[in-house]
Amino acid sequence: MSREKGCALFLVFAVTMAVAPIATAQQPDDQQQTKKKKRKTPALTPGPDSPATSAAPGKRKNKASAAPLTAGGGSDSIERGDKFYDRKDYFMASIEYNKAIEEPGSDEVSKQTAEFKMGKTLYKLHFYSTAISYFDRIVQKGPSHPNYNETLQWLAALTRDVPDSAGVLEKIGKYDRAELENPQLTTVRDELYFLLGKYNYGKNKFKEAVDLFNAVNPKSPFYVQAKLFEGATHVREYAAKPAVDAFKEVLRVAEESSDPKIRPFQDLANLSLARVFYSTGQFVLATKYFDRVSPESYDWPNSLFESSWANFMLKQQGYSKALGNIHTLRAPFFEYFIKPESAAEALTVKATIYFYNCLFDRASDAIDEFLETVPKVKDGLDKVLKNNPDNAQFFDAAVKIRMGRSGLPGIVERAARAVLTDRSLAKRFEYVRELDKELAAHDKADVAWKSTAVANNIFSDIGVNRALMVNEAGELARKRIERLVSEFTALNTRVNKIRYEILEGEKRQAEEDVRTESAHDRSHRAQELSKINVDDEHQFWPFTGEYWRDELGYYRYKLLNKCGRTGTPEEAPQTGGAPETGTGTEGEGTAAPAAAPAGAGSPAAPDPAVIPAE
């Protein structure tokens, strides 16, 4: 880049501490599943018949809350089923429990007891979707069912094996806060406080959600997640101060903990704090917390983009770093990490910064870069939507896109793949894979068992659940692509506005040059906006065209302002110091979107807070 064009790009990076490599956003399917199965969870129950343990033969005891079996029909089948269950012969146990449920002569107590035992048995067999169906029968009956309270701890266990999209959270949501105080639930009570809080959060019952999150014991492994959700709840209530307090509590716990599993939550808390401060107009604080998001975080690339907006709002104090962050996002390492709409919007931020500093040629270059890529991607995504009108079809197309085997043009597939790796959507695809595993396990089961009524019921139930989840995942994937297309359309409108203002700016500048004959003098009066200060721990040299991982996030632009006497083009904001809202006490204000700057384009305020991964 030449000085005639008004800027030069330099690199500032730490000598003593290199940036850590960017963490992979997704692992191969087999690694994800293996990791999931090995995850440690708190002990669940006080007895031997819990989700975490199996009863030893000859030592089985009935739960205190279960009604005693009568001598009526069904009790014999349950007793035989219990013997098989104690021997861990869960296939045979399922046959006997099913008899107690289905036989016409079974009394109601036997049927209800067998439903609960069947749910446990199917959980042990890893037929989770069908286990949920049996536990749901109990939940729907309510406290009148003899195993209603015991079911809650099994539902808690299921939340670790299936995503929220499986509907377990809705079952937990049927329970009242008071029912969590049952002595049987002592070992899982904090987890249930958190889960019921999540359910209430999703239903916009914010007061109930906050009360439940606050009930989680600080020593619980669910405490940090509860605080993150508490902060997000306060943000949705436009209450910045308690939101900041909750997120800072996460940082305090992370600082005192040596557990590496806490680190992702620490990054989420920093990102959430940055978004809160941005939304309250405290841009200096926003940049401070954006900078604290670790390069190892899945959200780091998007935090760089959002930090660019915060630095943009600081005007001349932040332009250099905003352009440096946008340059970082052009690195090939971010192809599948940065949201495609953010990458496109970053070009409009870049063009706007140049426009505000009368660097119209550079602003035009940024607009040309946008127009060379974004319309092509939008057209390609439109074809994907048109060619897959059915949700099941779209699911199959999305699977191929996520695997990089769609056959789409590279630039289109990368954009679609980036948006389809959304964590909420990924959970649904993960659940379909879980159901495929259950179907495969059913297929490999003993031939004699597969011919039984219970096996047929399980097969049918898994098939129905898979069809429903495929439809849901396909619909959600379609909405993600539709939203991306819509955002590209809105950005294109913004680009047209910026392009018009650039032309108007160039026209006014040319007229002024002719009138004053001072074009040469004005070029010599160009102002350097900010100095790039280098301390003893950093070195400073020009970018030569090659990206290195340990340099990412340290780029800065040396920017000139060529607006002459006024220092700003017509209708652009002044490029003086930082806005008054950029400072203040942390946590003051309301968590509402920040005011947009005048002139070409306006920032899309970041999401108010991050919801922790499911």
Q: Does residue 39 register a pLDDT over 70?
A: no
Q: Is residue 157 part of a domain?
A: no
Write the single-letter amino acid at 171. Answer: K
Lowest average pLDDT, out of 152-161, 221-230, 540-549, goes to: 540-549
The pLDDT confidence band at residue 509, using thresholds 50, 70 and 90, is: confident
Helix or strand holding residue 448 (H, E)? helix 447-450
Name, in order, each residue with C-beta under 8 angstroms of 462's C-beta and a sequence gap of 6 or more.
127, 129, 130, 435, 438, 439, 442
Of 560, 462, 580, the C-alpha closest to 7 is 560
Q: Does residue 20 register a pLDDT over 50?
A: no
Among 248-252, 327-331, 583-587, top mean pLDDT goes to 248-252
Q: Is 557 helix (H, G, I), strand (E, B) or coil?
A: strand
Q: Is 317 helix (H, G, I), strand (E, B) or coil?
A: helix
Give the max Cα distance, the chain: 108
Q: Are 417 and 408 in contact (CB under 8 A)?
A: no
Q: How far apart are CA 124 and CA 127, in angstroms?
A: 8
Q: Is residue 287 part of a domain?
A: yes
- Pull the structure tokens for residue 178: 């008071």
* Measured CA distances, 191 to 15, 49, 158 (Å): 44, 19, 12
* Measured CA distances, 119 to 126, 187, 253, 448, 614 (Å): 11, 20, 37, 21, 23
Give the pLDDT score at 567: 53
* Residue 284 Rama label (left phi>0; alpha psi -120 to 50; beta): alpha
Q: What percentage of residues in the chain have a pLDDT greater than 70?
A: 76
- Encode burial over 157-190: b for 16+ CB neighbours within 10 A, e otherwise: bbbebbbbbbbbbebbbbbeeeebebebbebbbb
Give the pLDDT score at 579: 39
Write the burial class of residue 354 (CB in 10 Å: 0-12 exposed, 13-18 middle, 19+ buried): buried
Of 419, 443, 436, the C-alpha closest to 470 is 436
Q: What percentage of residues in the chain have a pLDDT greater than 90?
A: 60
Phi, psi dihedral angles at 561 (to 5 degrees): -110, 120
If one counts every other C-beta atom within 10 angstroms of the C-beta of residue 258, the result is: 5
Q: Does residue 604 register a pLDDT over 60?
A: no
Of 149, 96, 160, the C-alpha closest to 123 is 160
Strand partners, 73: 106
Q: Is residue 246 part of a domain?
A: yes
Q: Does residue 512 register a pLDDT over 90?
A: no
Q: Is residue 341 part of a domain?
A: no
pLDDT in tens, 467-499: 999 999 999 999 999 999 999 999 999 999 999
Q: Does residue 576 register a pLDDT over 60?
A: no
Q: Does residue 218 register a pLDDT over 90?
A: yes
Q: Does residue 69 register a pLDDT over 70?
A: no
Phi, psi dihedral angles at 26 (to 5 degrees): -135, 145
Q: Does residue 168 register a pLDDT over 80?
A: yes
Record the pTM: 0.78
> For 5-14, what is the mean pLDDT?
41
> For 354-378, what is the mean pLDDT?
94
pLDDT in tens, 525-571: 566 666 666 666 666 677 777 888 888 888 888 888 888 655 565 55
Q: Are 290 and 307 in contact (CB under 8 A)?
A: yes
Q: Is residue 264 part of a domain?
A: yes
Q: How far apart are CA 501 and CA 342, in angstroms?
A: 22
* Measured CA distances, 340 to 345, 349, 374 (Å): 9, 14, 9
Q: How far apart are CA 69 and CA 111, in angstroms?
A: 10
Stronger pLDDT, 167 or 57, i.e. the higher one = 167
Stronger pLDDT, 538 or 173, i.e. the higher one = 173
Q: What is the DSSP string of 569-586?
A: -TTSPP-SS--GGG-S-T
Q: Are 325 and 306 in contact (CB under 8 A)?
A: no
* Measured CA distances, 472 to 130, 166, 432 (Å): 18, 11, 10
Name, in order, each residue with C-beta under 8 angstroms of 606's C-beta and a sequence gap of 6 or more.
274, 275, 278, 279, 306, 309
If one counts every other C-beta atom within 10 angstroms of the C-beta of residue 26, the result is: 13
Q: How far apart are CA 100 and CA 509, in angstroms?
A: 88
What is the domain extent for residue 247? 221-300+578-614
Q: Is residue 548 part of a domain?
A: no
* Measured CA distances, 323 to 8, 20, 330, 505 (Å): 11, 22, 11, 21
Among 73-87, 213-227, 529-543, top mean pLDDT goes to 213-227
Lowest average pLDDT, out of 47-51, 66-70, 410-414, goes to: 66-70
The pLDDT confidence band at residue 151, using thresholds 50, 70 and 90, is: very high
Write the single-letter amino acid at 167. Answer: G
Give the pLDDT score at 533: 67
The pLDDT confidence band at residue 508, using thresholds 50, 70 and 90, is: confident
The pLDDT confidence band at residue 598, using thresholds 50, 70 and 90, is: very low
Of 91, 23, 18, 32, the C-alpha closest to 437 is 32
Q: Does residue 46 register a pLDDT over 60?
A: no
Q: Are 164 and 195 in contact (CB under 8 A)?
A: no
Q: Does residue 326 register a pLDDT over 90?
A: yes
Q: How far apart are CA 226 and CA 232, in angstroms?
A: 10
Q: From the centroid of its chain, how far is CA 140?
A: 31
Write the burial class of residue 445 (CB in 10 Å: 0-12 exposed, 13-18 middle, 19+ buried): middle
Domain count, the chain: 1
Stronger pLDDT, 72 or 337, i.e. the higher one = 337
Query: Could you tell me the end-to-end alpha-carbon distance of the chain, in angstroms, rounded to an integer?
Result: 45
The pLDDT confidence band at residue 66, using thresholds 50, 70 and 90, is: very low
Q: Is residue 605 part of a domain?
A: yes
> For 161-180, what is the mean pLDDT?
90
Q: How far apart are CA 39 and CA 26, in angstroms?
A: 17
Q: Does residue 575 register a pLDDT over 80?
A: no
Lowest average pLDDT, out of 81-90, 223-232, 441-450, 551-560, goes to: 551-560
Q: Is residue 295 part of a domain?
A: yes
Mean pLDDT of the chain: 81
Q: How far apart are CA 8 and CA 541, in angstroms?
A: 11
What 8-state DSSP symbol labels residue 107? Answer: -
What 8-state DSSP symbol labels residue 549? Answer: G
What are the start-end ranges of the H helices in 517-614? 519-524
